[in-house]
Structure 1
Amino acid sequence: MARHTSVPRLALLSLVAIGSVSCAPASNPGLRGSEELLGYNPTNVLSQENTNDVGDYELLPGQKEDANIGEYLDFSNVDNPQPIRGSKGGTDPGPRTPALDKLFSDRLAPPGTDHGDVGNAQWSLALSKVKQGKKNAGWSRQQNVDVLPDATAMAGVDMRLEPNGYRELHWHVASEWALMLNGSARVQAVQEDGKTFVDDVSAGDVWFFPAGVPHSIQALEGGCEFMLVFDDGSFSEDNTFLASEIIAHNPKSVLAQNLNVNVSAFDDIPDGELFIFPGTAAPTDIQKQNVTSSAGTLQGKDSYTYHFSEQEPREVAGGSVKILDPLTFPIASKFSAALVTIKPGAMREIHWHPSSPEWSFFIAGTARATLFKPPNTATTFDYHAGDVGYFPQSESHYIQNVGEDDVILLEVLQADHFADISLGQWLALTPHQIVKDTLNISEEDINKFPTEKPVVVAAPSG
Structure 2
Amino acid sequence: MFLLMRLKDKMQLISSDNVKLKCNSKNLPADQEEKMQKFAVCAFLMKTFCFCLLMAVLTFTLGVAVVTLAPKLKPIKEGLQLKRATEKSQNFSHSVDQKYKYLNNMQKSKQFKLQGGVVQWARYRANPADYDTPEERAFGESIHSSNARMTASTLLIKPNGCRVPHWHYNANEHGYLASGTAWIGILDSAPFAVTSYNVTKGQVIFLPRSTLHWMKCVGREDCLFILFFTTSDELVTRDVDDVFYATPKDIAARSLKPKGGISFINSFKQPKENQAVNLPPNLNELVHKASYTKSSFFRVSRYFFDMRASRKFRYPGGIMQWARYTKRRFWLPKSERIFAKSLNEHADTVTLATMQIFQNGMRQPHYHFNADTMGYVLAGCGRVGVDRNSTEFNIQKGDVFFFPQGAQHYIKNVGRQDLLLVIAFNTHDELQTLDMDVYFQSTADFILAQLFLKKQEEFRKIPKFKTDQDINLP
- TM class, shorter-chain normalised? 0.5 to 0.7
Deviations 1:67-123 (A, max 9, x none): xxxxxxxxxxxxxxxxxxxxxxxxxxxxxxxxxxxxxxxxxxxxxxxxx95762101
Matched, 1:360 2:359: no
* Residues 29-48 of structure 1: pairs in structure 2 closer than 5 A: none
Show the counterpart of 1:303: 302
Matched, 1:220 2:218: yes
Unaligned runs of 5+ in 2: 1-96, 126-135, 327-335
SS in 2 for 1:355: coil
Matched, 1:270 2:270: yes
More deviation, 317-326/426-435: 426-435
Show the counterpart of 1:67: none
Show the counterpart of 1:319: 318
Matched, 1:120 2:101: yes
SS in 2 for 1:389: strand
> Shift in Å at residue 421 of structure 1?
0.8
Deviations 1:339-361 (A, max 9, x none): 11001111011000111110111
> Shift in Å at residue 205 of structure 1?
0.4
Would the alpha carbon gap of residues 436 and 229 (structure 1) be closer, same or farther in structure 2, given more than 3 Å must change? same
SS in 2 for 1:254: helix
Name the one with the larger helix percent: 2
Alpha-carbon distance in 2 for matches of 1:235, 1:451: 46
Alpha-carbon distance in 1 for matches of 2:210, 2:297: 16
> Shift in Å at residue 283 of structure 1?
7.0
Alpha-carbon distance in 1 for matches of 2:379, 2:151: 19
Would the alpha carbon gap of residues 316 and 417 (structure 1) be closer, same or farther in structure 2, given more than 3 Å must change? same
Show the counterpart of 1:286: 292
Is the CA contact (8 Å cut-off) linking 2:195 and 2:300 kept in structure 1? no
Matched, 1:432 2:433: no
Is the CA contact (8 Å cut-off) linking 1:361 and 1:386 kept in structure 2? yes
From 110, 129, 133, give the equivalent of 1:129: 110
Show the counterpart of 2:242: 245
Deviations 1:406-451 (A, max 9, x none): 0011221111222211111111122222223322275465432547
Is the CA contact (8 Å cut-off) linking 1:144 and 1:155 kept in structure 2? yes
Show the counterpart of 2:121: 142
> Shift in Å at residue 163 of structure 1?
0.8
Would the alpha carbon gap of residues 331 and 365 (structure 1) be closer, same or farther in structure 2, given more than 3 Å must change? same
Q: TM-score scaled to structure 2, two decimals?
A: 0.65
From 192, 204, 207, give the equivalent of 1:206: 204
Is the CA contact (8 Å cut-off) linking 2:195 and 2:299 kept in structure 1? no
SS in 2 for 1:256: helix
Alpha-carbon distance in 1 for matches of 2:359, 2:102: 22
Unaligned runs of 5+ in 1: 1-115, 291-296
SS in 2 for 1:425: helix
Deviations 1:190-240 (A, max 9, x none): 11201210001111101111110010000012231111100112334xx42
Show the counterpart of 1:337: 352
Is the CA contact (8 Å cut-off) linking 1:425 and 1:451 kept in structure 2? no
SS in 2 for 1:345: coil
SS in 2 for 1:245: helix
**1:268 partner letter:** F
Is the CA contact (8 Å cut-off) linking 1:357 and 1:392 kept in structure 2? yes
**2:105 partner letter:** S
Matched, 1:346 2:361: yes
SS in 1 for 2:390: strand
Deviations 1:33-81 (A, max 9, x none): xxxxxxxxxxxxxxxxxxxxxxxxxxxxxxxxxxxxxxxxxxxxxxxxx
Is the CA contact (8 Å cut-off) linking 1:326 and 1:335 kept in structure 2? no
Alpha-carbon distance in 1 for matches of 2:439, 2:376: 27
Is the CA contact (8 Å cut-off) linking 2:196 and 2:300 kept in structure 1? no
Alpha-carbon distance in 1 for matches of 2:290, 2:244: 29
Alpha-carbon distance in 2 for matches of 1:285, 1:325: 31
> Shift in Å at residue 338 of structure 1?
1.9
SS in 2 for 1:303: helix
**2:431 partner letter:** F
From 380, 386, 392, give the equivalent of 2:392: 380
> Shift in Å at residue 300 of structure 1?
4.7
Q: TM-score scaled to structure 1, two decimals?
A: 0.67
Alpha-carbon distance in 1 for matches of 2:356, 2:460: 28
**1:429 partner letter:** S
Is the CA contact (8 Å cut-off) linking 2:370 and 2:431 kept in structure 1? no
Alpha-carbon distance in 2 for matches of 1:451, 1:392: 30
Instruction: Give the percent of matched residue pairs that are identical in Structure 1 and Structure 2.
Output: 20
SS in 2 for 1:197: strand
Matched, 1:392 2:427: no
> Shift in Å at residue 167 of structure 1?
0.4
Is the CA contact (8 Å cut-off) linking 1:427 and 1:449 kept in structure 2? no
Matched, 1:448 2:448: no
SS in 2 for 1:201: strand
Alpha-carbon distance in 1 for matches of 2:247, 2:107: 38
Alpha-carbon distance in 2 for matches of 1:451, 1:396: 23
**1:122 partner letter:** L
Would the alpha carbon gap of residues 372 and 199 (structure 1) be closer, same or farther in structure 2, given more than 3 Å must change? same
Alpha-carbon distance in 1 for matches of 2:298, 2:461: 51
Would the alpha carbon gap of residues 118 and 382 (structure 1) be closer, same or farther in structure 2, given more than 3 Å must change? closer
SS in 2 for 1:299: helix
* Residues 17-56 of structure 1: pairs in structure 2 closer than 5 A: none
* Residues 84-99 of structure 1: pairs in structure 2 closer than 5 A: none
Alpha-carbon distance in 2 for matches of 1:421, 1:282: 56
